[in-house]
A and B are shown apart, each in its own frame.
Chain A
């Protein structure tokens, strides 16, 4: 799905196409629990989340990282991805609508590789920051 991407095509400041997710649902958290193997009741059970002071169940942090990863490999082919990291911000709850956006922060040639770095942000419908992410990719060059 990601278009082929060349180092020459990228400029610092370029926007990474944003991705708007469907509202986080119980169904999604159950499915993500099964897929990832994380059945922590905090993500599965509203009562548990309420007891923990979260006001209901909360989404898996790694699901949010998955959302950010979707935005990354929607833009940069997975095969070129070298590093990807996130820091978690506020908790994501049911019905939150997460949007991921970002831009290119740096491009450089290093040890013969054509490296780009990008930063991303996942926010909810109120603009609250859920996750910040960075990635590094090594792209092919048109001249080689």
Chain B
């Protein structure tokens, strides 16, 4: 079960350089044909200074430079009992190739809930705020992890 005393604990997410091809690779893998994610000129015609990061791009630095192992271990969460309940993004500023984004991750909340069938679970919310190289806030991500008990 998730250790409630960990709420508020912070973790760094190392600087991540946003690469053009990694943006394209994500759009291709999703199968999203929107040319703004792959073609700089098409993006410019729609008012972007370059190809913008797609809506779910934050999962890329989130996985490749993951600090998940750290906070999961500190929370004492059993990996075999978790599901990814949901994901939420707030967009503050566009993310473009060449940006270097760094994250600060916080254990935002741990709440115990009981399902209709009476089984107990912990709902853990992990928040990561990303800033770019100019120290401008670009994105906030909130991940909901459900740990069955």
Is B76 engaged at the interface, CB distance under 8 Å to the other chain?
no
Q: Does B86 contact A (CB under 8 A)?
A: yes
Interface: A44 (CB within 8 A) = no
Contact, CB under 8 Å: B56 / A79: no
Within the assembled complex, what's the spacing in Å between the Cα atoms of A106 and B4? 36
**Which of A10-18, A59-67, A110-118 is the interface stretch?**
A59-67
Does A88 lie at the interface of the complex (its beta carbon under 8 Å from any beta carbon of B)? yes
Do B91 and A63 have beta carbons less than 8 Å apart?
Answer: no
The answer to whether A82 touches B56, judged by C-beta atoms less than 8 angstroms apart, is no
With A1-B35, A38-B59, A85-B88 known as contacts, the answer to whether A69 contacts B52 (CB < 8 A) is: no
Q: Is A86 a contact of B29 with CB atoms below 8 Å?
A: no
Mark out the residues of chain A between 30 and 83 whose CB falls within 8 Å of any chain B CB in the assembled complex: 31-32, 34-38, 61-63, 65-67, 69-70, 72-74, 77-79, 81-83
A84 with B29, Cβ < 8 A, contacts A69-B55, A72-B55 known: no
List CB contacts (< 8 Å) of B19-64 with chain A: 22, 25-26, 28-36, 42, 46-48, 52, 54-56, 59-60, 62-64
Is residue A108 contacting chain B, with contact meaning CB distance below 8 A?
A: no
Chain B's closest residue to A21 (CB) is B31
Q: Does B84 contact A (CB under 8 A)?
A: yes
Cβ B60 vs Cβ A70 within 8 A: no
Cβ–Cβ contact A2 & B30, under 8 A = no
Q: For residue A36, which residues in chain B have a CB less than 8 angstroms away from its CB?
A: 26, 29, 59-60, 63
On whether the beta carbons of B84 and A73 are closer than 8 Å, the reply is: no
Q: Which residues of A contact B32 (CB under 8 A)?
A: 66, 69-70, 73
Number of chain B interface residues as a range: 35 or more
- Tell me what chain A mostly uses at the interface: helix, strand, loop, or mixed: helix
In the complex, the chain A residue whose C-beta lies closest to that of B142 is A85
A95 at the interface (CB under 8 A from B): no
Q: In the complex, what residue of chain A is closest to B48 when comparing beta carbons?
A: A79
B89 at the binding interface (Cβ < 8 Å)? yes
Q: B112 at interface (Cβ–Cβ under 8 A)?
A: no
Listed A/B pairs (27) with beta-carbon separation below 8 Å: A1-B33, A1-B35, A2-B34, A21-B31, A32-B30, A35-B25, A36-B29, A36-B60, A38-B63, A62-B87, A66-B29, A66-B30, A69-B32, A69-B55, A70-B30, A70-B31, A78-B52, A79-B47, A82-B91, A83-B91, A84-B55, A84-B89, A84-B91, A87-B85, A87-B144, A88-B84, A88-B86
Q: Measuring CB to CB, which residues of chain B are less than 8 angstroms from any residue of chain A?
A: 22, 25-26, 28-36, 42, 46-48, 52, 54-56, 59-60, 62-64, 66, 83-91, 94, 142, 144
